[in-house]
Structure formats: structure tokens, C-alpha cells
């Protein structure tokens, strides 16, 4: 089975495992970069910091998450992952839900102009 990966402006993601009801990704975030502030309608996410320090925002609450720590994102929660540090940030993301496709993203804010609407 060939697993997906993609390079994004902020870094990259690589699918480690996928099956019915879940997907596991390794996410690499470059220093000074962040993902879009987004929601998902069909999946929850669990982020485990492997290397670096993550700035995690979930429903407007921001906290620093160190290596070995984790954070949960409920279905429908607005969330963002950022790397304010000088080193590469490495996250393991476990997605759980009936659908884990990449088109289940509603971007609320984005540094790279990928929002369909401004609000």
C-alpha cells in the first residue's frame, strides 16, 4: 500500500498508517510557520509532540506543548498548530472518525491565502 504525503508552505505531512475509522500522520512544521486555523466536520485529532515545542490553539485557547505531551481536538473545534521555535517541530497526529479525507478542512484563517472566504 502506498501512503500519502504532501509538501505544504509550512512544512509537510506523511501518512504513517490508515484504515477504517482512523489515520496516523507525521507532521513537520518549519520554524516560524503555522498551519491554517481550521475545523473538521468528520474527525477528531490527537497531537503528540515528538520534537520541538508546539503552539497549539483549540477554540481560541492557546498553550505550549512540549515533547512527550499531547493535546486533543474534538470534532468541529477550531484549531491551529504553530512552530514559534528555532527547530523543526515534529508531531504525530491521530485522526479518528468516519471520514479522514483531506477535503474535510474548513479554513477560517490562513497565512497562505487558501481560505475560500474571509470572515
CA distance 81 to 20: 25
Q: What is the pLDDT of residue 118?
A: 42
* Beta-sheet strand order (sheet of 5-8): 5-8, 11-19, 22-29, 89-96, 44-51, 70-73
What are the residue boundaries of the structural domains of the chain, listed by start? Answer: 5-109
Residue 1: predicted pLDDT: 55
Q: Give the predicted TM-score (pTM) of the model.
A: 0.90
pLDDT at position 79 over 90: yes
Residues of the chain above pLDDT 90, percent = 87
Own/partner pairs, 12-19, CB within 8 angstroms, 24+ separation = 13/93, 16/92, 18/100
pLDDT confidence band for 72 (50 / 70 / 90)? very high
d(CA 114, CA 44): 22
Is 28's pLDDT higher than 50?
Answer: yes
Residue keyed to cell 474571509: 118
pLDDT at 115: 65
| 119: pLDDT strictly greater than 50 | no
CA distance 21 to 34: 27
Buried b / exposed e across 94-117, counting CB within 10 Å, b at 16+? bbebeebeeebeebeebeeeeeee
Q: Which three cell numbers stand for residue 20?
A: 477504517
| DSSP single-letter state for residue 21 | T
Q: Does domain 5-109 have CATH number 2.60.120.10?
A: yes
Amino acid at each position: 500500500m502506498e501512503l500519502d504525503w504532501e509538501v505544504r508552505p509550512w512544512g509537510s505531512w506523511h501518512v504513517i498508517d490508515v484504515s477504517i475509522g482512523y489515520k496516523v500522520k507525521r507532521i513537520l512544521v518549519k520554524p516560524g510557520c503555522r498551519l491554517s486555523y481550521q475545523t473538521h466536520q468528520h474527525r477528531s485529532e490527537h497531537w503528540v509532540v515528538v520534537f520541538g515545542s508546539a503552539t497549539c490553539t483549540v477554540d481560541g485557547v492557546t498553550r505550549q506543548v512540549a515533547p512527550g505531551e499531547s493535546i486533543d481536538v474534538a470534532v468541529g473545534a477550531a484549531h491551529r498548530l504553530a512552530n514559534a521555535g528555532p527547530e523543526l517541530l515534529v508531531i504525530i497526529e491521530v485522526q479518528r472518525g468516519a471520514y479522514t479525507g483531506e477535503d474535510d478542512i474548513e479554513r477560517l484563517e490562513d497565512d497562505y491565502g487558501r481560505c475560500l472566504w474571509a470572515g
